[in-house]
Amino acid sequence: MAKRVLVTGADGFIGSHLTERLVREGNDVRAFVAYNSIGSWGWLDHCEREVKGKFEVFAGDIRDPHGVKQAMLGCDAVMHLAALIAIPYSYNSPDTYVDTNIKGTLNVLQAARAIGCQVIHTSTSEVYGSAQFVPITESHPQCGQSPYSATKIAADQLAHSFYASFATPVTIVRPFNTYGPRQSARAVIPTVITQLASGKRQIKLGAIATTRDFNYVSDTVAGFLAAMQSGNSVGSVFNIGSNFEITIDDMVRLVGRIMGIDVDILSDDARLRPKNSEVERLWADNTRAKQVLGWAPEYSGIEGLERGLRRTIQWFEDPMNLQMYRPDNYNL
């Protein structure tokens, strides 16, 4: 059933893909993008041709409660993705993460409570910290090992509190490491691909023995849609992950093999997290999402990861896309 949906963070990586998918499925979509003086809609400026002109844009600031409520008026559901997400930058500027990730989420929840709007709130696997057991279920203890993850834990708890206190229809979606076209080079997979695609053979990385559960962006988007459409998701948390872990080192070697490059990895101290902040292991248990939402990843296991990486590499190797990145710079 089609809905009137607000997507916050619609100008970002996952948000732009989600906006496109919602439009394609016949929903009436309002895209909340960060106001700026040049009128940029972020990645929505580059959206698929068949989607252009078929969604409404609201430029605002997630930290402004009045604007958030105005954007949400008339909506049945809000997909709340707007957040500051770069972990290294959160070491430098934690106050901005509190304002954006916690206060911004509060603004969404307050408006949703007043309007009677369904909320799909975006969490992150970083809230778990280094895995204490694997695969990680939704009941795994939470541990804020960075200012970023701490603010996301707080935002998750606020979201749950509005469900518990006011019966606001809130669902928490917890994606593991999403990758794909349009992702920022602040993430490891674009960092690797853009360095190799620009002609480098020796690439700079931080920790490479850590493991991650990588998820192609279309699977993450499908998880959001399943959460919105399910009649049984309210009040619950759902891991959106592939149930497959791989070390960063092995992932880099796989990217190199796909691109036909023998990769030489150079450890860069500037890219290392503080020792006690590094999340050593992430591996999702996605059983609840499968059983309750009817969702399952299409890109799973090593075969699925390779398919997703091939699609991602193809996008980044396009000169029109690659020129938007700066592979010589380390992006906080």
What is the set of active-site residues?
Answer: 148
Q: How far is CA 210 from the centre of its chain?
A: 19
Quick check: 297 and 242 in contact, CB under 8 A?
A: yes
Task: Give the whole-angstrom CA distance, residue 199 versus residue 323.
Answer: 13
Contacts (Cβ under 8 Å, ≥6 apart) of 122: 9, 14, 79, 80, 81, 83, 173, 175
Beta-carbon neighbour count of residue 228 at 10 Å?
Answer: 22
Quick check: 186 and 294 in contact, CB under 8 A?
A: no
Exposed e or buried b for every residue in 17-39, given b needs 16+ CB within 10 A? bbbbbbbeeebbbbbbbbeeeee
Task: Give the whole-angstrom CA distance, residue 139 versus residue 109.
Answer: 23
Q: Is 2 exposed, middle or buried (0-12, 13-18, 19+ CB in 10 A)?
A: exposed
Quick check: 198 and 191 in contact, CB under 8 A?
A: no
Task: Give the whole-angstrom CA distance, residue 148 versus residue 90.
Answer: 6
